[in-house]
Amino acid sequence: DAKTTQPTSMDCAEGRAANLPCNHSTISGNEYVYWYRQIHSQGPQYIIHGLKNNETNEMASLIITEDRKSSTLILPHATLRDTAVYYCIVRVAQDTGRRALTFGSGTRLQVQP
């Protein structure tokens, strides 16, 4: 699976959009981008995933660049409860027998009141 690079930490004002970047310059054509987050004292929580098209669900939007070398997770109206570590992960699609998630270091998002 391709390696990802994320900023160590970010701040965001409550009510504003939080834009979390992720670089995955070695991504290959059959690898998906997944985002998870981990709120303090909880297990990781799935947010969204995509291949090449932008995706949106009730939690967030995922914008993937046309060359697929980077992506941005957007929380449109951040709240204090969105304070967490956000993990960007790239997963290969074919049957390699090793599809389980490998977490990188993630971005610690602090939403400020």
Q: Which residue number, 66 or 96, has a Cβ lying nearer to other proteins?
A: 96
93 binds other proteins (CB under 8 A): yes
The count of residues interacting with other proteins (CB under 8 A) is 24
- 95 Cβ partners below 8 Å, 6+ apart? none
- Interaction of residue 102 with other proteins, rule CB under 8 A: yes
By CB under 8 A, tell whether 110 contacts other proteins.
Answer: no
Site string for other proteins, 15-34 (x = CB under 8 A): -----------------x-x
**Which residue in 82, 78, 102 sits closest to 90, CA to CA?**
102
Question: H helices then E strands: how many in the chain?
Answer: 0, 9
DSSP assignment of 12-59: EETTSPEEEEEE-TT--TTEEEEEEEE-TTS--EEEEEESSS-EE-SS
Which residues, numbered 31-50, are part of the site for other proteins (CB under 8 A)? Answer: 32, 34, 36, 41-46, 49
Contact residues for other proteins, defined by CB under 8 A: 32, 34, 36, 41-46, 49, 87, 91-93, 97-106
